[in-house]
Structure 1
């Protein structure tokens, strides 16, 4: 590769102010020509867009889940290779691609033996995800988590109370691949990248409808999930889907690859077989 750009958010999770200097040293050690960008958080997306438009061979993104998802979405299947390094707190996409490596280890592996890999994904209301999406009232807990992470405990408590009030009051209706209409408390969509029920090359999403009807059901579902047996829980129905439609009585809360989102009362979903090209070490 002739040119690699690195975009780092030094304010994110596990990045830190010395990350640009470390990244520059790593690319020099591997004999790669590159440039490190460290924009302010409010300028991240605009800088990513400018870097992608400039046409590097690859872009290494050192930031949180939202920025990793945005970079992959902006690049698309025809743009430069994207390496979403683990720089956030949850690191959903980086963990799916690089396992439990630190960002320095993942970066070194990409520079030494990285190769292109086409990544599939899903789309909800025109927005992409590459690991998993959750639609429905359980997604409201993500906004409480974000407030707590920012140190706004009063706002976190208020959002947690709101999420608790919304439980069991706003069920979703949905149709997947033309099958009969279903109702559930939440709908989870998992990409082949992470689903243990799908082959990595399968051209579909795994769809799981979660419909606990009481606190006891939620406890049992949580217990089964901890044992890795959530698919066998009686409140869960699992299938595959390529397209679908979801609707509710009001705006639909959601989580896309760990980041909160909100959609109109009616939204479409679909599988994207070619979402973006990742730079990854050989499997």
Structure 2
């Protein structure tokens, strides 16, 4: 047989991108909500095309109208090695919470509005770049977090009327200043509608305008993954409220003199009416008596090792 008659080599495998050596990835399920904040109507097809570059068995499922929780549970029941979620902030939180510490690895991609958790894990708001980083550089990462009345959070929970400042700050980040001002005005109108009372680690009750619980995943103050950073916001008058709102929009509000911080593992928060909150970018209305607890191992993410850990190896 001459060289001309020899079969051509199969280059399909050679062209494929390399998967991370840190986790066995044979079966991947991708959940896509095409209607969420930043995914787009063709996200499912784009995800299928991207995954075709890797030697994995991949299935892309579009989330349909109705409750997403049963659809997430059905995907988890199939026991994939990795569950990829391209949807809004609330859906990403729900998937991570349902997977839990014993479930499959989860890759929550930036497909929502604020994308706090994806940005904390992957450092980007481009879901394609985040997926590529997860597949090629990811390692199993035990993500710590917190829980408020059964609602999980992995970055930050803000309880109280200033919870509405979080959407305002995000609007500033994307330079939607008119929308940011609308959010800020709405938050300030409610700033004195009712203070909350809170107790940290069983200590005495104290009142504040709001309480923020910040996970070690994003906290600049916590050096160990053994608790939450609690930040109480207590403006005493309208002038301080405007200053705190300004800091919430433009800088690190924890540096404001009206904010007090400490490390905690549990908290109780009460108010005369239901408590508005923002959990990892999603607005939630809690009961008038809510309990917060720290979770040392909330779920397992597939993400690159944090720089500080990588430097210490």
Q: Which has the larger radius of gyration?
A: 2
Q: Does 1:36 align with 2:60?
A: yes
8 Å Cα contact 1:52-1:75 kept in structure 2 = yes
Please name the residue that 1:5 is paired with.
Answer: 29
- Could you tell me how far apart the structure 2 residues matched to 1:143 and 1:227 are? 12
* Residue aligned with 1:36, SS: strand
Q: Does 1:259 align with 2:282?
A: yes
Distance change (3 Å), C-alpha of 1:238 and 1:139:
same
8 Å Cα contact 1:185-1:211 kept in structure 2 = yes
- Could you tell me how far apart the structure 2 residues matched to 1:270 and 1:32 are? 38
Output the TM-score relative to the length of structure 1. 0.88
- Residues 114-153 of structure 1 mapped to structure 2, 5 A cutoff: 114-139=138-163
- Residues 220-235 of structure 1 mapped to structure 2, 5 A cutoff: 220-225=243-248, 228-235=251-258
* Residue aligned with 2:135, SS: helix
Distance change (3 Å), C-alpha of 1:160 and 1:110:
closer
Shift in Å, 1:140: 5.0
**Higher mean C-alpha displacement, 98-107 vs 61-70:** 98-107
Distance change (3 Å), C-alpha of 1:163 and 1:225:
closer
**Higher mean C-alpha displacement, 64-73 vs 174-183:** 174-183
Q: Does 1:81 align with 2:84?
A: no
Shift in Å, 1:234: 2.0
Gapped regions of structure 1 (runs ≥ 5)? 146-157
Q: Does 1:19 align with 2:43?
A: yes
Distance change (3 Å), C-alpha of 1:144 and 1:15:
same
Distance change (3 Å), C-alpha of 1:229 and 1:257:
closer
8 Å Cα contact 2:184-2:245 kept in structure 1 = no
255, 261, 268: which one aligns with 1:245? 268
Alignment root-mean-square deviation, CA: 2.4
- Could you tell me how far apart the structure 2 residues matched to 1:13 and 1:159 are? 18
Shift in Å, 1:63: 0.7
Output the TM-score relative to the length of structure 2. 0.80
How many residues in Structure 1 have an aligned counterpart in Structure 2?
271
* Residue aligned with 1:68, SS: helix
Please name the residue that 2:241 is paired with.
Answer: 218
